[in-house]
Amino acid sequence: MNSSKFFINIISLVSITYQLQAQDLTKYVDPYIGSGGHGHVFVGASVPFGAVQLGPSNFFKGWDWCSGYNYGDSIVTGFAHTHLSGTGIGDLGDILVMPYVGEVRTDKATEKEYQKGYGAHYSHKNESVRPGYYSVTLDESNIKVELAATERVGFHQYQFPQDKQAHMIIDLKEGLNDQSADTYLRQVDKYTLEGYRFSKGWAKEQLIFFAVRSSEPLEHFSVYDDNKLMQGDSGRGKAIKGLISFDKVPKTLKLKVGISPVSCENALANITAEIPHWNINEVVAAAKAKWNKELSKIVINTPSEKVKRIFYTALFHTMIDPALYNDHNGDYRGTDKQVYKKASFANYSVFSLWDTYRAVHPLYTITQPERTADMVNSMLAIYNQKRLLPQWHLDGWETGTMVGIASRQVIAEAYLKGIKGFDAERAFNAIKGTSASDTLGMMYVRTFTAIPSDKERRSVAKGLEYAIGDGSIALMAKSLGKQNEFNYFSKRALNYKLYFDSTTQFFRGKLENGDWAPDFNALKANNTIYAEGNAWQYLWLVPQDVKGLLSLLGGEAVFNNRLDTMFALETTADEKGMADLTGTIGQYAHGNEPSHHIAYLYAFGGRQWKTAETVKHIMNDMYHDQPDGIIGNEDCGQMSAWYIFSAMGFYPVFPADAKYVFGSPLVENATLQLPNGKTFVVKATGASTKPYIQKVLLNGKPYDAAYIDHATLMAGGTLQFIMSHKPNNDAGYASKLKASLLK
């Protein structure tokens, strides 16, 4: 390194260090939270929204290992460069790298006999993880592993014991809950490897290219097809593995592994662009600075250190996915498998939209407007290539998971909240084109007919989710001055009424002949009529027309009574019946997303105080700072986004209407650093112990609405909640709050 580059790097490190000293919020982030129980979060090294999630993989043992790692485990099979966070299905785990010592072993063996393979035992006391950094010392071999990451490059640093033969394996056969279909690896020169992994899993077609740069000469490099040694320094097959061995054990071995959806050349270029040096401390410091930049967009004050840990870990979890799916130069591979060069937007994937449209994407409209525009452009590119907007998109493949096509409401919400950087007409045409399709039961929606449960699986869940999307589209059409489309989609938004059975007072499956589906049990989870839920949870899935739902149920008194019954009515174990239905309060299931807005509906029935006490109970009882501290699947940030909004005192019941309904703040002060340079401050003295809002002040003046709208929030100012141990039972005040929501 020449002297000028040396001083530039020193100045860069000093600058980064100064920034972190000014405000280090990463100290409150504990990536272990949600790594046990059913949280399924990623544990390892990453940067905000990065393509690389570099971390440990355990033996895959089912649902609670969907991220590849579970806190209750103690055997690692290697360190892979891609992982999912919080999902209910496992995949990825690509480009597995594992150091070991002793005799040559080219298979991970089994969990019970991991010592016959390259697996290793570890202990949490020798493990450390924080935003942008992971380390562990492997028990038997005493190898110290350190991992860091940029957006598209994983940085590995290994310290080997000096008295044993050292090896490093790159296993392209191994992935997480998938099967390798075509793998390739070759040595380019004595420091460089390149290859690809094509696999089939949750996403039926996945293709990832990579390049490896070593700090030490690769003295002995061998290629295996599974466990069979191949001739030469390259190989292609279904289970290619590369083995690096050393005559003289390096004191420290460093690897830079770049990944790309496009080519090996681009993967290598990503390394050159993002980590041109060999200093892991510099990579870690840069990642820490990136995390602090994003975390500092919401600065909270609360007397509880525990709440700070939960809050900032939650904010951290909302920024693992969606993940970049492009190269440093802008190239990406589309859903049509074609390469698009130097795109004008950052292409993203891992869209868990059935989950994230509810709170994650609304949070992004406040904290990530530029990324929101890029995510919209990514969805529009998918539409151009496949003629459908995404449903649950994973690394260039539409998995078709869950119900509805929630990208429609995400795009509509972005437009309605004034997000710039995408073409509104193009976006509306994509929404309209998708809504006119014959896919996933949409042909029935277009004719204002109930989706028949004997023709379409999860018919009621689909019908209700489509109506939410249609309500969002109607608002976008109105804003664009498209009166005909507004009228049409407004009518579609009322299709939820097609599923309402007045005799049972629930939404039910309807057969093609018009009869109600038989064997109805409102308490029993039904994954064929609903999606991971029962009739009680789906009764409330009408956020686009709560006023209409209130009328449908028979008025305010009945509406409130049904809410009370829902939170009190218990089920048997047989009726509960699904692992996803966790975090239950009666029929409410906080561990599953269709319930997330329900506590806020009390405010629509004139009982905001009931919303306040229920939301406060959920925050205090179902979020903790331990490995099992998330009550259900994290679902790419949705469980965490609910907490972030609720802790600040409001929540987007119907995201497209740009209203945040008041609940009960948990933090005493929250300052949002807005992208326009303004700040929005939420004050709530005593909020940690006082659940009830007595009154609200906006910029020092009395405020009698039960919500704050997005435009007011983004204009900056101060929202003050006057908190109390007792609810405000003034009938006039309650009436004003209710009227503000139902107008």
Q: Are residues 284 and 308 in the same domain?
A: no
Where residue 219 falls among pLDDT bands split at 50, 70, 90? Answer: confident
Residue with tokens 């193009």: 426
Q: Residue 466: its pLDDT value, please?
A: 98
Q: What CATH number did the domain enclosing 573 receive? A: 3.30.2080.10
Give the chain's domain count: 2
Q: Residue 573: its pLDDT value, please?
A: 73
Indicate whether 298 pLDDT > 70. yes
122 and 76 in contact (C-beta within 8 Å)?
A: yes
Residue with tokens 């009166």: 483
Indicate whether 221 pLDDT > 50. yes
DSSP string computed for 84-149: -SS-SS-----SEEEEEESS---S---STTGGGTT-EE--GGGEEEETTEEEEE-TTT--EEEEEE
Q: Are residues 481 and 629 in the same domain?
A: yes
Q: Are residues 532 and 616 in the same domain?
A: yes
Q: Are residues 183 and 313 in the same domain?
A: no
Among the candidates 241, 276, 295, a domain finishes at 295
Q: Are residues 415 and 474 in the same domain?
A: yes
Indicate whether 275 pLDDT > 50. yes
Q: What pTM does this model have? A: 0.95
Q: What is the DSSP letter of 517?
A: P
Q: Are residues 286 and 315 in the same domain?
A: no
Indicate whether 15 pLDDT > 80. no
Mean pLDDT of the chain: 95
Residue type, 305: E
Q: Are residues 708 and 585 in the same domain?
A: yes
Q: What is the mean pLDDT of residues 273-293?
A: 98
Q: Give the burial class of 493: count Cβ atoms within 10 A of its Cβ; 0-12 exposed, 13-18 middle, 19 or more buried.
A: buried
Among the candidates 236, 262, 295, a domain finishes at 295
Q: Residue 743: its pLDDT value, please?
A: 82
The torsion angles phi and psi of 355, rounded to 5 degrees, stand at -85, -50
With a CB cutoff of 8 Å and minimum separation 6, the contacts of 285 are: 13, 16, 17, 20
**Strand 75-80 relative to strand 120-121, pairing:** antiparallel
Q: Are residues 284 and 394 in the same domain?
A: no
Q: Are residues 154 and 209 in the same domain?
A: yes
Q: Are residues 670 and 715 in the same domain?
A: yes
**Structure tokens that stand for 57 in this block:** 């993989």
Q: Are residues 272 and 319 in the same domain?
A: no
Q: Residue 16: its pLDDT value, please?
A: 40
Give residue 350's domain range. 298-742
Q: What is the DSSP letter of 515?
A: P
Q: Residue 8: its pLDDT value, please?
A: 42
Q: Residue 7: its pLDDT value, please?
A: 43
pLDDT tens-digit readout, 69-119: 999 999 999 999 999 999 999 999 999 999 999 999 999 999 999 999 999
With a CB cutoff of 8 Å and minimum separation 6, the contacts of 78 are: 56, 57, 96, 97, 98, 108, 118, 169, 171, 174
- Percentage of the chain exceeding pLDDT 90: 93
Q: Residue 464: its pLDDT value, please?
A: 98
Q: What CATH number did the domain enclosing 275 receive? A: 2.70.98.10
Q: Are residues 285 and 380 in the same domain?
A: no
**Strand 717-724 relative to strand 701-702, pairing:** unpaired
Among the candidates 245, 271, 295, a domain finishes at 295
The Cα 455–Cα 512 span in angstroms is: 7
